[in-house]
Structures are given as structure tokens and as C-alpha cells.
Structure 1
Amino acid sequence: MSIKTTDLCDEFGAGAKVLLPIFQDLGGRADFQGRAVTVKCFEDNSRIKELSTTAGEGKVLVVDGGGSDRCALFGDHIAEDLVRNGWAGVLVYGYVRDKAVLRTFPIAIKALGVTPAKSTKRNEGQVGLSVTIAGQVISEGDQLFADDDGVLVLKAVVTEGAQ
């Protein structure tokens, strides 16, 4: 990634919304940048699985799992789909599994942590909603940036004006 979060903070000031530093790097990369695709789900990864099989070029999957530590919202199979379909990265307000395998994939996966328990599949969850994660509101289409220094959001209006 060529754009550093520190440089974006310097350039945009208060317009760069920095997420609280609560995420672990669990993929083979620490950096991503792309447009947010949001999914809100609680202990059900049905919508995540669906989205992982769609084209993800230039997109970051933002998962609001409510911070639940009772199950993982995805593991190696979904991560493999995300890589195959060109997703730039994943931000999970929740837990994932298959940590050792996730580290081998060339994608940034930032989550609260890991747990071996799998999620349920009840075909629940909503795509495209604004979600509040780590102290910031993230809306569909917002631009997300992440690296070793953290994760930040530039609202879609700010990034459109900057281009």
C-alpha cells in the first residue's frame, strides 16, 4: 500500500476518523485500502459467505459482529474465497478462526481475536447498513485505510472531494 495512515491523518486532520486500536492482524498482510462493504451479523456468517464469493477489487469487507467472542465469523474457507475474488482486506468487529492458515493468505484480516467455535448459519444479517465499530461510524462506500499504525475511515464525501 502506498498511502500511510499517518500521512492521511496529517493531511485530513479531524476528517480522518481513526478507529480505536483494538484489532489484531491475523492475515498475511497488515495493510489495505478500499471502499467499505458493510455487513451486520451476530453469530451468523451467512451474509459474509455470500459476499466473499463476489468481486471484491478495491473493496474492504467491514463486518459488525457485535464483538461477540462466542464464535468465529469466518475461517480459512471464507478467507480463501476473499483472496480468490480480489478483496483488499477485511475488518471484523468479532472473532475469526484458523489463525495459522489465515497468516498464509495475502490479505489483511483485522479482527478482535480468534476462537475455534464456528458460527451458525440462519441466513441472517444485513448488508449495506452504517455500522459503528471501534468508536467510528462506517458507511457503505466510505474509504478505509489500514496499516501497522491502525485503521482509519475517510467518509465518502471527503474522498470524493479529494480526487
Structure 2
Amino acid sequence: MEFHTADLCDEHRERVKVADSIFTLYGQKRAFYGPIHTVKVFEDNVLVKQALETIPKESVLVVDGGGSKKCALVGDNLAEIAVNRQLAGVIVFGCIRDCAQINEMNIGIYALGTNPLKSIKQGKGLENVPVQFAGINFEPGSYLYADEDGIIVAREQLV
């Protein structure tokens, strides 16, 4: 279903929160929406991979990476999991790598930037907890809408 975040903001101004414009959009999918699933990690992407492998299709994975730009939390292998499992998209409060390959994939990934260094693999972090960054709260079960104008969150499905 086609939507525009600007139109959703106009129609549902009191029901949406708008994320700060701190992200870059990667991948061929220029708009996506779905229910939010979260992981909270720091320079460790084990839980990111597990979530990509298990959350329901058409979901949005929101990764609170603490804003670290010292390594990547998602690369082309993890992006391919998201594509194959038909996830709606991914938000990374951190970095990705393999952006040239990801830009050829049918996925939308918002991230702070890129870094070629892979993350550590310790499996530390939290799953399905509310996370806060970019000026808003991302709560599991809420809905995220993203397009080239930005990212918005609502407690309920709007489209």
C-alpha cells in the first residue's frame, strides 16, 4: 500500500511522533511501514541477526546501537536475511556496511552512516524493550512509517 509520511503527518498530527532527521536511507525500498520490534545492543550484532531471523514478516526491526559509529551492526548478509524473510525495513541507530550491495537489494534501511568494521559477537543486549533515540520512543507493537521524507511512529496502524 502506498503512503507518504507527510500526508500521514497532515492527517494524524496528534497521533504521530516524528524522528529527528539524523539518518541516511539505504536500499532500493524507498518507503516501508510495519509493526516495531526492537533490539538494544552496543557494537554487538548477535541479537540483530537473531531478530532478523525470527520476527514476523512485514515487521520493522528497530536497532538501538547506542549511536556508535565505531563498527557496523548490519551488512549485506543480514540485509539479505531481511529481504528473504520479507521484513518491511530496518532502522539502525548505528552504522551499516556493504552499502553498495545493500543499495542493490529490495530493502529499506535507515542508519546513521557506514563503517567497514564488523561488530563483535558476544550476544549481549536486550530484545523487545522500548528504546529511545532521534527524539522519540520506539515501543514494540507500535507502527513505524518511513519514506524519503523521514520516519514517524504511531501507536496504531494508520494505513
Q: TM-score, normalised by structure 2?
A: 0.95
Q: Verify the 8 A CA contact 1:89 1:108 in the aligned structure 2.
A: yes
2:87 aligned with 1:87: yes
Q: Verify the 8 A CA contact 1:144 1:154 in the aligned structure 2.
A: yes
Partners of 2:65 and 2:29 lie apart in 1 by 22
Identity rate of aligned residues, in percent? 43
Structure 2 residue matching 1:73: 3-state secondary structure: strand
Structure 2 residue matching 1:53: 3-state secondary structure: helix
- Letter of the aligned partner of 2:92 in structure 1? V
Please list the CA deviations of residues 13-43 of structure 1 after superposition, one character each: whole Å capped at 9, or x if unmatched: 1321000011101112221100000100000
Q: Verify the 8 A CA contact 1:34 1:60 in the aligned structure 2.
A: yes
Q: Tell me how far 1:124 sits from its aligned partner.
A: 0.7
Please list the CA deviations of residues 99-147 of structure 1 after superposition, one character each: whole Å capped at 9, or x if unmatched: 1000011010100000001100101111110001200001001100011
Partners of 1:108 and 1:133 lie apart in 2 by 19
CA RMSD of aligned residues (A): 1.3
- Letter of the aligned partner of 2:122 in structure 1? R
Q: Tell me how far 1:55 sits from its aligned partner.
A: 4.9
Aligned to 2:102: 102
Structure 1 unmatched ranges of 5 or more: none
Aligned to 1:53: 53
Aligned to 2:37: 37
Structure 1 segments of 4+ aligned residues over 4 angstroms from their partners? none
Structure 2 unmatched ranges of 5 or more: none
Aligned to 2:133: 133
- Letter of the aligned partner of 1:11 in structure 2? E
Q: Verify the 8 A CA contact 1:56 1:88 in the aligned structure 2.
A: no
Aligned to 1:117: 117
